[in-house]
Amino acid sequence: MAEPVEWQPDGTPRSARFDDIYRSASGGLEQARHVFLHGCGLPPAWADCTQWRILETGFGLGLNFLAAWRAWKDDPKRPRILHFVSIEAFPVSPDDIFRSAKAHPELAPLAKELASKWWGLVPGFHRLAFEQGQVLLTLCVGDVHAMLREQSFHADSIFLDGFSPDRNGAMWEVPTLKSLARLCRPGTTIATWTVAGDVRRDLAQCGFQVEKIEGLPPKRHSLRGIYDPSWDVKGLGGSRSTQPSNCIVIGAGLAGAAVAATLARRGWAVEVLDSASAPASGASSLPAGLLAPHQSPDDNMLSRLSRAGVRTTMQELDMLCAQGEAWQRTGAIEMRFDDHRPPPPLGDALAPWTRAAEGNAWLHDCAGWVNPSDLVRAWLQTPGITRRMNARVSRVKREGDQWIVMGETEIARAPLVVIAAAYGSATLLGDSIELHPVRGQVSWSHEGEPGVDRAVNGNGHFVPGVPVEGRAAWLTGSTYARGDNDCADRAQDHAANLERLRVLLPDVAQRLAPLFESGKVHAWAGVRCASSDRRPLVGQLEPGLAISTAMGSRGLTFAMLCAQVLAARLHDEPLPIERRLAASLDAARQRR
């Protein structure tokens, strides 16, 4: 449940859990600007930077984030990407987020947008995107020590915030400060409202040079500092970040388009190559796909990854594509058949992911159908992307600090090449990574009355009311033939899809069976790409050579999530998911 906030008559928000106030009645924005932004030298410190990374130890009601976002919007010298990573063990409700900022007209529209995305906040990382993906809030829900261990980046500024040290000591103790120091670079700035002697002493012990500065009345002082240890720190020094220049992405399907858009937003000049005559001509040409989280009673790794991916993709769709034309958030029913275990407790007011539905089924509220081709085209329209079709790539080779992309002759060269060509990646990777083709055939038709108005998942899936070729259609399938790379339509696959439908939705199958029997059902067949453990593969294989592939039948779920993981690794950015989850996608795990 959302953390309750006690609003005092004068407007002061208070926490009963910690018996402390979140902020004074009128001083929240002023404190955010004076103590935290000014204390860290912002906005001047980020002027003309490619990116800026802020790490905060207590999100609370979000005023520090909103103030930083507002400052970014108002600054003509703002960084291209603003990362704000904040840890919060007890998220408040979206109503309290908005109420807290409502008194400040310059923050109210930002707070409204934040509140609209403030859902599904189960424990773990949540990437919330604003400003067309240029302001990225990574909210880390959980214990501060556990969430800091899952970080893998160097912060530029640290907002050391939270309830008073005598009310919530874990936020201020030495192990927390040491974890923060691990995430610093030389010159990382830090700011906080407290000048308690123990806090100053412990910060100095962890390598921060701190000083008192004039405070915001009624407080006489606040604290600012810089990470500048007087001793040698192993691994401290040069940045791991790759500076944007030009790069080549091989593949113009979901995976390649997501990578291209993500890198272009960060300032790369991206050239997309594909052997087909148009984008989304392979497995991404599916008429419509079902975007829905995987659910398991034990909330396993795939469940956590899929939630992150679904949120990420839906934010992209909301930014770039029209609902009802390219996609629709309809929700989806998942039939459980003989599995009578309840879903994990994710269905409270902050977490509308999965809840029990009528019968032995689960309802995924955050689900819907998507036309993959529309999403691919939207991503490829990102400024900074050019594309070259009918470009048949046979191999890539290294020459100095450049990678050469070869066909019959040289096609292009760049310091960074990303291979994202689904099963076509296998030809370019040789035997360094094991990839498997997976044939899938979907059956669809404009005719018939299914009698259901929501997607249903389980043994295959059924999706009604999808616009295909300008008319409403239904789709069902898909087959999953591992090791098969033939795209020809097969009558036996139509029969297999009908049998799956008879198990999934017997009444619907009975209504639609005559269409199958009379040959009035159309087929779409494509070849997906899977890894040996059926998880995506993303990351650098060698300096300047990366892959993002093996999405299997979950390209809509994983394409943008993998692209963001790759961008984080390239640019020393915050990860969109916990470090251990990102490691489960790392291509190095299956490198031969």
Mean pLDDT of 66-82: 98
- Are 96 and 200 in a shared domain? yes
Q: Where are the beta strands (DSSP E) in 220-304?
A: 221-227, 246-250, 269-273, 289-291
Q: Is residue 134 part of a domain?
A: yes
**Same domain as 221, residue 151:** yes
**Would you say residue 63 lies in a domain?**
yes
- pLDDT at site 128: 98
Q: What is the mean pLDDT of residues 353-364?
A: 85
Sheet containing 184-192: give its strands across.
124-130, 135-141, 81-88, 51-56, 155-159, 184-192, 221-227, 208-214
Q: Does the residue 588 lie in any domain?
A: no
Residue where a domain stops, chosen among 315, 349, 370 = 370
Question: In this structure, are 18 and 92 located in the same domain?
Answer: yes
Task: Name which residue leads in pLDDT, 217 or 580.
Answer: 580
Q: What is the radius of gyration, based on Cα positions, of the chain?
A: 25
pLDDT at 346 (0 to 100): 66
**Pair 339, 222 in one domain:** no
Residues 61 and 173 in one domain: yes
pLDDT reported for residue 170: 85
Residue 432 lies in a domain: no
pLDDT of residue 237: 62
- 238, pLDDT greater than 70: no
Alpha-carbon distance of 9 to 41, in angstroms, equals 35
Q: Report the alpha-carbon distance of residue 364 to residue 353 in Å, rounded.
A: 6
Domain boundary among 504, 526, 548: 526
**With 60 as the cut, is the pLDDT of residue 370 above it?**
yes
Q: Is the pLDDT of residue 46 over 90?
A: yes
Instruction: Give the Å distances, CA to CA, from 463 to 3, 57, 331, 376, 440.
Output: 37, 43, 11, 20, 16
Residue with tokens 């679904």: 310
551 assigned to some structural domain = no
Q: Residue 190: which domain range?
A: 6-227
* The two structure tokens encoding residue 311: 């949120």
Nearest to 361 by CA among 377, 389, 337: 337
Question: Are residues 202 and 339 located together in one domain of the fold?
Answer: no
Nearest to 420 by CA among 586, 542, 246, 248: 248
Our CA dihedral for 196, 199, 205, 206, rounded to 10 degrees, sits at -150
Q: List the one residue out of 170, 532, 287, 247 whose CA is nearest residue 418.
A: 247
Torsion of CA 293, 296, 298, 301, to 10 degrees: -50
Q: Which of 344, 370, 396 is the last residue of a domain?
A: 370
Task: Report residue 340's pLDDT band, with 50, 70 and 90 as the boundaries.
Answer: confident
Q: Do residue 179 and residue 45 come from a single domain? A: yes
Residue 349: band (very low, low, confident or very high) from pLDDT cuts 50, 70, 90: low
The model's pLDDT over 56-67, given as tens digits with 9 standing for 90+, comes to 999 999 999 999
Comparison of pLDDT for 255 and 28, the residue scoring more = 255
- For 497, the enclosing helix (H) or strand (E) is helix 491-504
Region of poorest pLDDT, from 34-43, 174-183, 480-489, 509-518 = 480-489
Q: What is the pLDDT of residues 315-324, one digit of tens each?
A: 999 999 999 9
Residues 104 and 200 in one domain: yes
Q: Which of 162, 156, 137, 132 is nearest to 57 (CA)?
A: 162
Rounded CA gap, 392 and 385, in Å?
A: 19
Q: pLDDT at residue 7 above 60?
A: yes
Structure tokens at 451: 């009698």
Under the banding of pLDDT at 50, 70 and 90, the label for residue 348 is low
Burial class (CB in 10 A: 0-12, 13-18, 19+), 541: middle
DSSP state of 445: E
Q: Tell me how far apart the alpha carbons of residues 66 and 123 are, in angstroms, rounded to a whole number.
A: 22
Q: Is the pLDDT of residue 347 over 60?
A: no
Where does the pLDDT of residue 351 fall: very low under 50, low under 70, confident under 90, or very high at 90 and above?
low
In the sheet that holds 289-291, the strands lie side by side as 289-291, 368-370, 327-329
| CATH number (domain holding residue 90) | 3.40.50.150
The reported pTM is 0.96
Mean pLDDT of 557-582: 98
CATH number at residue 448: 3.30.9.10
Same domain assignment for residues 183 and 303:
no
In a domain, 411, yes or no: no
Asked if residues 21 and 12 have their Cβ atoms less than 8 Å apart, the reply is yes
State the average pLDDT over residues 362-378. Answer: 95
pLDDT at 232 over 90: no
Do residue 68 and residue 177 come from a single domain? yes
pLDDT of residue 26: 59
Task: Say if CB 423 and CB 410 are below 8 A apart.
Answer: no
**Mean pLDDT of all residues in 455-468:** 93
What mean pLDDT is reported for the chain?
93
Assess whether pLDDT exceeds 70 at residue 44.
yes
Same domain, yes or no, for 107 and 179? Answer: yes
The number of domains in the chain is 3
Q: Which of 11-15, 161-165, 340-344 is least confident? A: 340-344
pLDDT of 337 reads 82
Q: Are residues 88 and 164 in the same domain?
A: yes
Of 144-158, 350-364, 378-392, the poorest mean pLDDT is in: 350-364
H or E, element range at 491: helix 491-504
pLDDT at residue 111 in the model:
97
Number of Cβ within 10 Å of residue 69's Cβ equals 22
pLDDT at 125 over 90: yes
- Say if strands 155-159 and 436-445 run parallel, antiparallel, or are unpaired: unpaired
Average pLDDT over residues 446-468: 93
Confidence of residue 338 (pLDDT cuts 50, 70, 90): confident
Distance between CA atoms of residues 222 and 30, nearest Å: 13
Q: How confident is the model at residue 162 (pLDDT cuts 50, 70, 90)?
A: confident
